[in-house]
Structure 1
Amino acid sequence: MSRFRDELWRVVDGVYGRILVHPFLTGLTDGTLPREVFRHFVVQETHFLPDYARALAACGVRATSPAAVQRFAADCARTVEVEHSLHVELLAAFGLDQDDARRIGAAPTTVGYASYLLRVCHLGTFPEALGAIVPCYWIYARVGEALLEQSSPDPLYAWWIETYGGEHYQETVAGVLDLLDEVAATLPEADRARLCEHALTTARYEWLFWDAAWRRESWPI
């Protein structure tokens, strides 16, 4: 039986392929990624994740079933609690805290990605919001799963890989994909196309986010 998730993955698969071979991720697994590049990534994640949590909350507001509302409310809370704790520990590995991250500030790609998510989740329909948020769930799960097979000789990088490749995160993403299939099953073709369009945009932002860290992106002026 054909599932909508398979159709959607065909839309983003080319971007995912480019992500897997990006030097940021290959450097994670072979341990050659410069620590200052990973530091940049961690700082930008601390800026991005609160807005991602807000996008999840907005998606839940637009959800049409109590189960979907509960899912996104729970995932919003989990993002704030669990991801925050993870990044506090990662910042500490670099001798930084949340105040330091705030002083460093959000880079252009971080601002652009978060702004796009919030706009779609606040102004779009529920299916549009779902399309926008799914790639962050799904691509991290696929990346974590792929990288877990190789792990990393660097303990800090191995810890990050295990977080997203681990069974608990994979189960969370599986639940969101089940919801995606359920919602898409009753959508008109035009609405499915818009969902896919938003998903492709945020998948591209996923690549840009890692690339921005690799380049240690900053504001040019």
Structure 2
Amino acid sequence: MAGKAPGHADMGLLVRHAAATVDVELTLHESLLPELDIDYAGAAPAGPTTRAYTSYLLATAYGGSFADGVAAVLPCYWIYAKVGAELGRCGSPDPRYQRWIDTYSADDYQTMVAEVLDLANNIGETLCTTEEIRARSHFTTAARYEWMFWDAAWRRETWPV
């Protein structure tokens, strides 16, 4: 998606975000998985909802415009920030869950979200009506998938066949 950015500043922003996300997520997962007795190498394949969601994001970022890609990934940024900030107010007695909360309530993450919200707002000002409708549709679909992703984890969703 960053490769479709209309300028170097936007490209750099998204590349920095991607690198930071990989670093933070890997560190978080590498610490949590052993504590939860989960062997990453032997983990189950992605479930139906996760596969559908990630496939949707990839297809939108690859096949759509820069605005489409930003609209599709925005819910992931924004929802984690909102949930992280809310949970950060009350915390958790479980230190593993608290590490997750700390990650998404952290000032660094909240700053990244503010940056991508600014980017989305700036892009939105340039869209014609048709492009705006399409971007809003991608945002809505991705927000639904984000909810379904969390629900699938809650239900411990697996492939039915």
Equivalent residue for 2:23, pick from 65, 68, 81: 81
Equivalent residue for 1:201, pick from 141, 145, 157: 141
The one-character-per-residue Cα deviations of 1:126-160 (angstroms, maximum 9, x if unpaired) are 11111001100011001111111111122211221
1:88–1:97 Cα contact (<8 Å) kept: no
Structure 2 Cα separation of the partners of residues 174 and 109 of structure 1: 27
Q: CA RMSD in A?
A: 1.1
1:23-42 to 2 correspondences below 5 Å = none
1:132–1:195 Cα contact (<8 Å) kept: yes
Structure 2 Cα separation of the partners of residues 65 and 182 of structure 1: 13
Shift of 1:182: 1.1
Amino acid at match of 1:73: V
Structure 2 Cα separation of the partners of residues 200 and 90 of structure 1: 31
Equivalences, count:
161
Does residue 122 of structure 2 align to residue 182 of structure 1? yes
* Equivalent residue, structure 1, for 2:33: 91
* Equivalent residue, structure 2, for 1:65: 7
* Equivalent residue, structure 2, for 1:119: 59
Amino acid at match of 2:65: T
Deviation larger for 69-78 or 137-146: 69-78
Structure 1 Cα separation of the partners of residues 114 and 66 of structure 2: 19
Deviation larger for 181-190 or 210-219: 181-190
Shift of 1:210: 0.9
Shift of 1:183: 1.1
What are structure 2's unaligned runs of at least 5 residues? none
What are structure 1's unaligned runs of at least 5 residues? 1-58
Equivalent residue for 1:109, pick from 11, 29, 49: 49
Shift of 1:80: 2.1
1:157-168 to 2 correspondences below 5 Å = 157-168=97-108
* Equivalent residue, structure 1, for 2:96: 156
Shift of 1:122: 0.2
Does residue 75 of structure 2 align to residue 135 of structure 1? yes
Q: TM-score, normalised by structure 2?
A: 0.96
Q: TM-score, normalised by structure 1?
A: 0.70
